[in-house]
């Protein structure tokens, strides 16, 4: 199987499908919009809070950046690919694929690879675009590695659990707690925060917070983030495969 050929065949189709769908066409721009909102909105808000309430919002920049970029960026692309999966299920495109030379495993590999690449690449755009903290290549690189598997994990969750786009949007709202939980963990007493480790999104955000704080030995957290999310993604990939053959 030539993955490059799969990209050339399915990539243009995905672009057309996203552009013509009003529900998903705006989603690909959402991370950029959030970065610009942080760039233009947070500094004046920080100054105002300090002036009027003596509250230093700078101390909470790691929470904002982790939530919007390490968490929300892969969520957006995961949901986007998940909605494409739902469209193809509704149109029975996936059933038609099973009688083409492209194996279903190759199709799933393509669907997994695309959100990983989008998430990983965009991380290097979002952090400098927001411009809230000095750009640190190592911090962004390791955070991107830790966060990238989140996108296919969510895409396969949507594709295997939801029946249509309406259910997909409802599921997206319901899964919001998996992005709030790491924020709650940030304020948890030392030791207690690890209880939130059962939530896969905790580990990528924890990687970013450790790197932001200047920690150097974070590889264990990166490995746990990648392995844990990959295992969850594999579970939903098997479920998705079974759904298609029902």
Written in H, E and C, the secondary structure of the chain is CCHHHHHHHHHHHHHHHHHHCCCCCCHHHHHHHHHHHHHHHHHHHHHHHHHHHCCCHHHHHHHHHHHHHHHHHHHHHHHHHHHHHHHHHHCCHHHHHCCCCCCHHHHHHHHHHHHHHHHHHHHHHHHHHHCCCCCCHHHHHHHHHHHCCHHHHHHHHHHHHCCCHHHHHHHHHHCCHHHHHHHHHHCCCCCHHHHHHHCCCHHHHHHHHHHHCCCCCCHHHHHHHHHHHHHHHHHHHHHHHHHHCC
Kindly report, residue by residue over 162-199, the tens digit of the pLDDT.
887 778 888 888 887 788 888 988 888 877 888 888 99
pLDDT the model gives residue 96: 61
pLDDT-based confidence at 109, cuts 50/70/90? confident
Asked if the model's pLDDT at residue 240 lies above 80, the reply is: yes
Whether the pTM exceeds 0.85: the reply is: yes
Least confident window among 8-12, 46-50, 156-160, 223-227: 8-12
Between CA 38 and CA 28 the distance in angstroms is 17
Asked if the model's pLDDT at residue 1 lies above 60, the reply is: no
pLDDT the model gives residue 135: 92
Q: Which residues contact 230 (CB under 8 A, 6 or more apart)?
A: 149, 153
The Cβ-side half-sphere exposure at 179, using a 13 Å CA radius, reads: 23
Q: Which residue has the higher pLDDT, 203 or 105?
A: 203
């Amino acid at each position: 199987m030539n993955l490059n050929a799969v990209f050339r065949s399915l990539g243009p189709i995905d672009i057309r499908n996203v552009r013509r769908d009003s529900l998903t066409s705006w989603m690909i721009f959402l991370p950029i919009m959030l970065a610009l909102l942080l760039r233009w909105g947070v500094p004046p808000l920080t100054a105002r809070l300090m002036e009027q309430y003596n509250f230093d919002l700078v101390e909470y920049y790691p929470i904002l950046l982790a939530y919007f970029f390490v968490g929300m960026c892969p969520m957006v692309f995961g949901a986007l690919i998940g909605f494409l999966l739902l469209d193809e299920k509704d149109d029975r495109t996936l059933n038609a694929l099973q009688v083409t030379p492209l194996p279903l495993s190759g199709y799933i590999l393509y669907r997994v690879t695309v959100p990983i690449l989008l998430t990983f690449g965009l991380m290097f755009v979002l952090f400098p675009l927001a411009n809230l903290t000095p750009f640190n290549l190592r911090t962004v690189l390791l955070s991107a590695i830790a966060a990238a598997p989140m996108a296919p994990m969510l895409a396969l969750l949507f594709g295997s659990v939801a029946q249509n786009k309406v259910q997909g949007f409802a599921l997206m709202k319901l899964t919001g707690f998996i992005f709030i939980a790491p924020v709650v963990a940030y304020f948890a007493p030392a030791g207690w925060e690890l209880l939130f480790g059962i939530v896969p999104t905790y580990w990528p955000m924890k990687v970013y917070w450790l790197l932001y704080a200047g920690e150097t030995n974070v590889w264990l957290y990166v490995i746990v983030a990648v392995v844990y999310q990959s295992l969850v993604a594999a579970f939903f990939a098997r479920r998705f495969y079974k759904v298609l053959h029902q």
